[in-house]
Structure 1
């Protein structure tokens, strides 16, 4: 928030929407909530009037579209308490227009009759509301013979409400056939609710007198109502930390890494299926737990139960680590979360739960999990990596390459640039046997050992052998060896 912005804000009552609005709406302002039918405008208004802060005052819902009974049923369905709301039913089927004389207002050309405006003014003066919702304000357009008079009436109404000390929400049925550009000019803030490709979003296109987070931000609606999941902006986050080393607990692997992984950097563990990427990552988490450092593992490929069983089989006591609070394991399947929801989970673990290591197990599964969320998963992975670095959190990412043998590739996507370090694991044929090797391809923060070592996965954990100085051509897929080197 800018230093010149007022400290007082009016909460919307929608989880995390106020984070996007840098604290909430400005007091005694008018906000236009616009969107297509079904975008969530009415739910937005109900949240605004039933929030805990809203219940401390008087609230008025002026319903020009749906009758009060419908709105009350909608509110009940989400568990909203409408006791603190006064409804002024100006809908075509509402109590205010049950007689022919008043219902005539909905015929064109009746704008000289001031009954509609008078009804609103009388209600405002009678209850002196702190918050007012007019839903939808675009219905008033049907009562006016021209656009000029519509704008004059709306501006007069807004100024009257703000002058009475109310903070106002107006909803608009945004559609190409019903433009609302004029309304956007008249209000202080514009909130856009969109539904596209099964993804709901919120975006602030105008916020007079304040800043707001750039969107679009994911919106979800469930039995509890609406929730906003702000888009991750790595530039807004940062903290200092020492350039320490994170050991794997395996001396030979640490030797390859010149002592271990540098804290606050991103390391890719890259190789084909079954080569030991996840197991290698788990050893870093085990060593971190022994130093009372907290980790979180997001599994995109395997179930949580499978992860726990595999870890125990290689002497990584994940259940003990979980019980001690040094490890959290979360399984995330396809379409369970949007990318914005996931990044919120990551932020919660880092900022609220003090996680120092975040492991993303499976880039392929990560992309599959979020491919229908309306965002580019690869672009979001870049942002997650930047966020972790800025927060001095160590990132471990397992990346599967589908070619089990043959010419080596560090990744099969354009993501290798994200990595500060790349540890490669390979299946090779050595002296007539299939075995695994491990090496370091890249480390930005320090020197590293450039040899390859054998890798075994046993019931006691990882066993990393001596450098294979006699091997040649492993990364080309056609290794050979020189016995004279031994």
Structure 2
């Protein structure tokens, strides 16, 4: 028997629920005050109205005028939602026989229950929101009355084939464990000073996307950003390599970086990682590929100036639309929003992505508890989508002991290209080498790297340079780098 799905009306949440709610069943949306439970519910009702369904809002909390204003603010069909306001007194629920909301008609029931039943029978709603159902607890004499009342209500609505959303104001001394046992699905909202997160802990009859997914409430309403899943986007990888446009650098890599691989450019500050990455990215755009730079470390205007200073045709690539820069300033976005940027970039057809850099990724995004896990998730998603990915990774030591990466992400990389400062005759020089290429062979030697007004220059292999991986590099007898022979003769 196939399951009929119905949309929650919340962008992104249907994806988390593998297609939406199951029609005719119920879901509990729980969270602390201010987490957005009522807005979740209004999205749910409005989606039903958009689909030609009838919607009933059983209001047990905020004044109806406030709820209508909230719905109007987000364009959520407030004028077409049927409201039924319940404001019973505790005494009405304390009568001996009122153990169930909708039991036999022979049982004498409070008047507000009778009017609610009349509304339900009249409207026969396709969707019902009970907001918040926890108010029901304060109006019943004991736990037995509360539990039997909820069960009776849910059974009655299920007989009408209504899809029901209940909200629960959980937190502190208030518990809703019993409600979680009674319902078919549980969605929890968690709010911290830095971010908002949603998770699903129960969904009878369906699988769902586990883990924490971020959401936010803006002037446009409420949006959920599902966590990336590596096989969410799969694209066939075009054979070939990503060229840097610098002959000697491509030689070091035996032709370039294989399409669809993840490359880590690793090195200390000031060694040229971003510039080297830009060289690959800009050349890809020049060659007709769609490229995107996610910039965490610097402002876009700084990147443009840097490219102009070395004659890199970045501006031409941007003007043509083949390349775009997405600036990620500190504290502006959550990890969930960034992952959505990545998802949209892939869906738009981007073939090459550069993330600059891992330190800014860790410091700029809100709600990031596990930097390594997030980087791995993004990298694996891009690889599965066939996107050639460059991750700029800063190691903290300028000279000394060698580290491939700082965030323990080297297992993600198909390729590791490292840049290092070395001292030669009291002068700091830059070298570049390849530590790993999973899908092809590569040159084992090191080459000198220079960044000049005419662009990146990569010298011949430095056969006399020893010990860079030990942390104490040394030039052997009369060893010279590119251009040093002439200097030694003068």
After TM superposition, the score normalised by the length of structure 2 is: 0.90
Distance in 1 between the 2:479 and 2:160 partners? 93
Q: Which of 393, 398, 407 is 1:413 aligned to?
A: 407
CA distance in 1, matches of 2:160, 2:62: 26
**Structure 2 match to 1:105:** 92
User: Which of 436, 446, 450 is the aligned partner of 1:452?
Assistant: 446
Per-residue CA deviation, residues 443-469 of structure 1 (Å, 9 max, x unaligned), is 122221111112111232211111122
Find the counterpart in structure 2 of residue 289 from structure 1. 285
| Aligned position for 1:441 | 435
2: CA distance, partners of 1:474 / 1:171: 61
Post-superposition offset of 1:432: 4.7
Query: How big is each residue's C-alpha offset from its partner over 1:11-37, in whole Å with a ceiling of 9 and x where there is no partner?
Result: 111111111111111111111111222
* CA–CA distance in structure 1, aligned partners of residues 330 and 439 of structure 2: 35
The residue aligned with 2:43 is 47
- Cα offset, 1:81, TM superposition: 3.2
Which of 125, 129, 140 is equivalent to 1:129?
125
CA contact (8 A) 1:272 1:402 kept: yes
**Could you say which residue in structure 2 is the equivalent of 1:362?**
357
- Does residue 86 (structure 1) correspond to residue 82 (structure 2)? The answer is yes
Partner deviation per Cα, 1:310-369 (whole Å, 9 max, x = no partner): 11222222222122221110111222111121111111111x211111111111111101
Unaligned runs of 5+ in 2: 99-107, 486-490
Measure, in 2, the Cα distance between the counterparts of 1:71 and 1:329. Answer: 40
Query: Does structure 1 retain, via aligned residues, the 8 Å contact 2:29–2:188?
Result: yes
Deviates further, 259-268 or 454-463: 454-463
Question: Is residue 449 of structure 2 the alignment partner of residue 462 of structure 1?
Answer: no
Structure 1 residue aligned with 2:343, among 344, 347, 355? 347
More moved, 115-124 vs 472-481: 472-481
* Residues 66, 91 of structure 1: 8 Å contact kept: no
Q: Pick from 375, 383, 392 the counterpart of residue 377 of structure 2.
A: 383
Asked if 2 retains the 8 angstrom alpha-carbon contact of 1:106 and 1:142, the reply is no
Range moving further from structure 2, 176-185 or 433-442: 176-185
Partner Cα separation in structure 2 for residue 108 and residue 394 of structure 1:
69
Matches within 5 A, 1:213-252: 213-252=209-248
Name which of structure 1's ranges 149-158 and 426-435 shifts more when overlaid on structure 2.
426-435
Q: Could you tell me which residue of structure 1 aligns to residue 10 of structure 2?
A: 14
Q: Distance in 1 between matches of 2:159 and 2:58?
A: 17
Give the SS at the match of 2:399.
coil
* Residue 157 (structure 1) aligned with residue 153 (structure 2): yes
CA RMSD of aligned residues (A): 2.3
SS for the counterpart of 1:120 is: helix
Relative to structure 1, the CA distance from residue 186 to residue 79 in structure 2 (aligned partners, 3 Å threshold; closer, same or farther) is same
Q: 1:52 to 1:335 in 2, by over 3 A?
A: farther
Moved over 6 A (4+): none
Q: In the TM superposition, what are the counterparts of 1:62-73 in structure 2 within 5 Å? A: 62-73=58-69
SS of 2:330's equivalent in the other structure is coil
- Taking the aligned partners of 2:415 and 2:457, their CA distance within structure 1 comes to 21
> Are 2:417 and 1:430 equivalent residues in the alignment?
no
Correspondence for 1:278 among 244, 259, 274: 274
Counterpart-to-counterpart distance in 1, 2:267 and 2:46: 53
Whole-Å separation in 1 of the counterparts to 2:371 and 2:406: 15
1:392 corresponds in structure 2 to: 386
Structure 2 contact 5–20 (Cα < 8 Å) conserved: yes
